[in-house]
């Protein structure tokens, strides 16, 4: 094959472009993404250090525990656990409700049986969607969480909010997203753990 000077430069340019693209891909996947992962891991570790001196609340009846900072109080009212924060000069209260699921139903079955206004179980009654549908990250260790979306007029579901089931399917937790103090809410949820009863 005979190459002219013009063709040689075109081939050289093509190899340079291919090499630059390959280098860019290797850099992105092996260095940039790795450093991004390390940053996220470090950020998580920093959060763990920040919560290391928090108080610990444990509940043996429903089998769970979580940590909370000094200046925040936790109160029990039957199956309702309230977290109260007065540190900013106004009262922020966040409630978690706990239910026993002795039949070990799946979370979806439990929700429809529990909250169907007409007392008839149906998958169409409660609009169950992934917990992060609206961008709120709900990460509870080893647990499954869903969101009951705003019900339509045709639906008979009477509740809206987040529902989490324990790994052993014996406890269901109900709570809402917290707008007043989302950082505290996320930090507490990051320490939340169901414990074997």
- Where do the structural domains in the chain lie, given as residue ranges? 1-50, 55-194
pLDDT over 70, % of the chain: 69
Which pLDDT band, with edges at 50, 70 and 90, does 80 fall under? very high
152 or 20, which is more confident? 20
Q: Of the ranges 44-48, 153-157, 190-194, which is most confident?
A: 190-194
CATH architecture of 55-194: 3-Layer(aba) Sandwich (3.40)
Would you tell me how many other CB atoms lie within 10 Å of the CB of residue 39? 10
User: Residue 89 has what pLDDT?
Assistant: 79
User: Residue 39 has what pLDDT?
Assistant: 32
pLDDT in tens, 146-166: 988 866 555 556 677 889 999
* Closest by Cα among 136, 138, 116 to 127: 116
Model pTM score: 0.67
Q: Is the pLDDT of residue 22 over 80?
A: no
Q: How far apart are CA 173 and CA 24, in angstroms?
A: 47
Q: Is the pLDDT of residue 105 over 50?
A: yes
Q: How far apart are CA 152 and CA 156, in angstroms?
A: 8
What's the mean pLDDT in 48-64? 85
CA angle 186, 91, 50 (to 5 degrees): 35
């Amino acid at each position: 094959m005979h190459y002219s000077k013009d063709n040689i430069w075109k081939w050289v340019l093509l190899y340079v472009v291919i090499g630059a693209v390959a280098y860019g891909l290797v850099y992105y996947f092996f260095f940039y993404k790795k450093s991004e992962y390390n940053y996220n891991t470090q950020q998580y570790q920093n959060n763990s250090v920040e919560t290391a001196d928090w108080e610990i609340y444990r509940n043996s009846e429903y089998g769970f525990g979580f940590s909370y900072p000094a200046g925040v109080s936790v109160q029990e009212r039957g199956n309702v656990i309230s977290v109260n924060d007065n540190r900013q000069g106004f009262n922020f209260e966040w409630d978690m409700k706990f239910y026993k699921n002795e039949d070990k139903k799946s979370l979806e079955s439990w929700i429809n049986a529990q909250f169907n206004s007409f007392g008839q179980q149906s998958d169409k009654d409660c609009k169950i969607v992934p917990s992060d549908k609206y961008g709120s990250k709900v990460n509870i260790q080893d647990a499954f969480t869903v969101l009951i979306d705003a019900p339509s007029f045709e639906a008979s579901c009477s509740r809206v909010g987040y529902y989490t089931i324990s790994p052993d399917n014996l406890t269901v937790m109900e709570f809402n997203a917290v707008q007043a103090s989302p950082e505290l809410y996320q930090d507490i949820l990051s320490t939340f753990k169901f414990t074997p009863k």
